[in-house]
Amino acid sequence: MQIEARIERFADQGRCVAHIDGRVVFVRFALPGELVRIELDEPHERKDRFWTGEVVDVREPSTLRVSPPWPLAGSSAEGGGVGGADLIHVSLPGQLAWKSATISEQMRRMGHVEINDVPVERIANDEAVQGLHWRTRVEMVADDEGRPSMRRRGTHVRVPITTMPLASHAELAVMGRHGLWNGGLEPGARIRVVVPEPRMPQSEVVQTNGGQPGSTGDEALLDAIGSNYAIQIEGVTIAGSDELRETAIIGNTQFFYHVDAAGFWQVHRMAPLVLPEYVISLARQAAAGTAAPVIWDLFSGSGLFTLPLMSCVPGVRAFSVEGSAVAVRNARKNLSDIGVQRDQCEAQVGDVAKTLKHVPRTLAHPTVVVLDPPRAGARREVCIRIAAADPSAIIYIACDPTSLARDTATLTGLGYALTSIRGFDIYPMTHHVETIALFTRVNRT
């Protein structure tokens, strides 16, 4: 069923809102102010509170609309349909506006905090490559012919692809060298390619022809990459290494990280530089004037934030918690590599909420808490335990504005005020956004 409607505003999950006969409709590939024709998803005749649909024709386009730089990720009506880039039809300035509006709306609705015009920062060089070529980790699936493919949005249909425009130039170079696009894989096999960004000047400006052999600049990239990459099929590394080496320059110091190829790491090639730089600046300010500050680093992974916290905050002692045993083993190795002893930083593996019940007495009262939880957020029990420890500041790194807003409501109810909030567009062409919020303890009488 098709209908015509005027789009009203941004919504979450890469959709916009329209109303039809009093019913809310969440519309994909739309923009506020547009007059569009919408194909409603099935089933649409139930008496649900809302419907969903997708634009099939734009009668009056927004000035924020652009031709998708990756058409395959655009609307089905334009020959697209694969997932992974739901803002591909939006200009880069429009994407920042969308993400700012989403953060503000979720904080108002779920966090009960009124914030207008949340700043969202674009990562350096993303505009020069049109918001493409940022992913250092890509996951695909082999189609019935054994070729890399992506699933058509909302279905199990596998659409073959011959390149991945969101992948970094380094990833494309590795995939090209190994002939990944040629197929020959087991149908249905899960494909994961991980290529840490080589921190060399050429990698920031090199242009390729989509990862095909012989691309301009590929040889220089491949020389810099060496064996520091992984191609995994069904979780088994068939080329490269199981353990990778990530590099980040933070506060004029270069840090090296051992990272599991199958584990978590920030996916944008520049995120491991940009996010810690900002977090460390907040932590230094919050710990200023404290002779021997204690910092908790929760959901700490392989130590992306732990290492610069130990190096850049004077006199600090730290307590970190992470659920992945492999990540904690790597974090301990990474800390040891920069000379941090266990009495300076205790890195524990375990459920964060449960582990915070048994913090060593000397680390039980943090000056600052840094947390980078998964998409579901920290949740209420963790927030309660953080507040009970009475830190003067909480630095919350969030990959989902809704989860951040929910936890904001909990923290403000526990005596903390939201002092600052900033977005970082480390997921261009998608509705996702990284948000860093600073909470400070309200003076108590």
Residue 49 pLDDT level (bands cut at 50, 70, 90)? confident
pTM tops 0.85, yes or no: yes
Rounded mean pLDDT of the chain?
93
Task: Please tell me the predicted confidence (pLDDT) of residue 21.
Answer: 86
Residue 199 pLDDT level (bands cut at 50, 70, 90)? confident
Which is catalytic among the residues 16, 312, 345, 399? Answer: 399
The answer to whether 399 is a known catalytic residue is yes
Q: Is the pLDDT of residue 92 over 80?
A: yes
In CATH terms, is domain 2-65 a member of 2.40.110.10?
A: no
Percent of the chain residues topping a pLDDT of 90: 88
The letter for the amino acid at 325 is A
* Domain segments of the chain as ranges: 2-65, 101-124+268-441, 135-243
Question: CA 192, CA 195: separation in Å to the nearest integer?
Answer: 10
Q: Is the pLDDT of residue 330 over 80?
A: yes
Same fold, 2-65 and 101-124+268-441: no
* Biggest alpha carbon–alpha carbon distance for the chain: 69
Judged by DSSP in three states, 160 sits in: strand
Domain 101-124+268-441, architecture per CATH: 3-Layer(aba) Sandwich (3.40)
